[in-house]
Structure 1
Amino acid sequence: MSTQAEPAPSCNTAREQLAALASAYERDPAREAGYARLRRVRPPAGDRPARSASVLVLFGALDGHPAEHPSAAVPADLDVLLVVRASTLRDHAGEIAFPGGGADPEDADAVATALREAVEETGLDPAGVQVLGALPLAPTVSNFTVTPVLGWWSEPSEVGVVDAGESAAVFRMPVADLLDPANRCMTVLERAGREWTMPAFRTQHGLLWGFTAAILDGLFEELGWGEPWDEHDRVRPRGY
């Protein structure tokens, strides 16, 4: 007797899962995030003073171009908003990242920073973003202490490069394609006499690695979205 595979959950189910995770962190601020390995494996940042920053981790439903990879955990039209940082930036130049940046004195809180930066980098309409909650602080090699702000794009708006000095590209990446084992790998860095390995993703805009990849990898594992992949597939990011 043949059995039929269960259909993937809907985007509404994915939104509920993301909201539940944000709520769990709000109820238990001491809960360790899935990306806690950032605190254990990141290379030293040097003598630069620490600075607060926020990023917008914005999920939503794609208007078109659904995922090519079939996933049992997420729908084909679930996506996450990403930018390719300008090659002229001081920190993380040319890397794929969430929209975000350093806090300004006029920002009311971490959420305000994330939304302001997202508007400046992508042109999105913040009125269409439902903020689900703030995730635990995460450090970066450039010595920023970052608050990932988890959001849902309830009313998607047009996005694109606003300032070429900030972003080289803005794109919405299907989550199922990020979960494709063929698109998973580990980056290898050598710094301070040690070797550092971190999860990474292959995308149409190049390698997604470092801080952003660690946040996504941690979220996917916590949400039960991950698929088995070859962690022995290792690459060195360009320039490292």
Structure 2
Amino acid sequence: MRDDVRRLLASYEPARQQPDPPLPPAGVLLLLHDRPGGPHVIFQKRTDRVRDHKGQISFPGGVMDPGDPDVRYTALRETHEEIGVRPDDVDVLGELDQMVTVSNFLVTPFVGWLDRYPYEWRFSSEEVAYLLEVPLSHLRDPRNLVPDRRIINGREYVFQAYRFGDDLIWGATARMLGNFLDLLSALE
């Protein structure tokens, strides 16, 4: 499947955002790996000690540091800092659509494949409460797509979210995941 995803992303032109005024760039990594039962996606549950997105399910990643050469580097650096995955152990397959988050970041999501499983996760206890290894088949099953109702500025909005056990994958992470899953439908 890795090569199919690589080909799919190579032919995909990700949407670019140009917010005015410009927002701080950030990079995240939608990380897949092979294991019994098929490919899995890695998510992290953020602690209540982080500044942004307390307690939410997210992809590893973060804001670009001044010394980062590009946002891809940022996604790999942050993934290493947050969950212990060395950049050399990730095969970056491509990019998804850029997104502006409610926390005012311009996020570029990358799709990567972890070169081996099992992996020796070492996550930052300051930032990461625990990891979720979610089967891709679970995420693609429409029964696990649930409505997420939010009140924003007095109006109700309904967004797509994904249920995995007691956890809800919602917000920007769900939108990035939806972008990826929509692309994968071309492989069916």
Shared fold (TM-score, shorter chain, > 0.5): yes
**2:121 aligns to what?**
159
C-alpha distance in 2 between matches for 1:188 and 1:179 = 21
Q: Following superposition, which runs of at least 4 residues in structure 1 exceed 4 angstroms of deviation?
A: none
User: Is 1:117 aligned to 2:84, yes or no?
Assistant: no
**2:41 aligns to what?**
80
User: Is 1:148 aligned to 2:109, yes or no?
Assistant: yes
**1:159 is paired with a residue of what secondary structure?**
coil
Do the aligned residues in 2 keep the contact of 1:52 with 1:145 (CA within 8 Å)? Answer: yes
**2:147 aligns to what?**
186
**1:224 is paired with a residue of what secondary structure?**
helix
**2:29 aligns to what?**
56
Listed as ranges, the gaps of 5+ residues in structure 1 are 1-13, 37-47, 67-76, 228-240
By how many angstroms is 1:171 displaced?
A: 2.7
**2:7 aligns to what?**
20
User: Is 1:132 aligned to 2:119, yes or no?
Assistant: no
Do the aligned residues in 2 keep the contact of 1:91 with 1:142 (CA within 8 Å)? Answer: yes
TM-score by length of 1: 0.70
The Cα offsets for residues 150-170 of structure 1, whole Å up to 9 and x where unpaired, read as 111123432142x21110012
Do the aligned residues in 1 keep the contact of 2:161 with 2:168 (CA within 8 Å)? Answer: yes
C-alpha distance in 2 between matches for 1:143 and 1:78 = 32
| Higher normalized strand content (fraction of residues) | 2
C-alpha distance in 2 between matches for 1:92 and 1:189 = 15
Do the aligned residues in 2 keep the contact of 1:61 with 1:79 (CA within 8 Å)? Answer: yes
TM-score by length of 2: 0.88
Distance change in 2, residues 1:217/1:138 (3 Å): same
- What RMSD over aligned residues (CA atoms) do the two structures have, in Å? 2.5
The Cα offsets for residues 80-128 of structure 1, whole Å up to 9 and x where unpaired, read as 1110011122211101100000000111111110011000110112211
Identity %: 38
Distance change in 2, residues 1:140/1:52 (3 Å): same
Do the aligned residues in 2 keep the contact of 1:135 with 1:149 (CA within 8 Å)? Answer: yes
Do the aligned residues in 2 keep the contact of 1:52 with 1:102 (CA within 8 Å)? Answer: yes
C-alpha distance in 2 between matches for 1:118 and 1:170 = 12
Do the aligned residues in 1 keep the contact of 2:25 with 2:64 (CA within 8 Å)? Answer: yes
User: Is 1:202 aligned to 2:134, yes or no?
Assistant: no
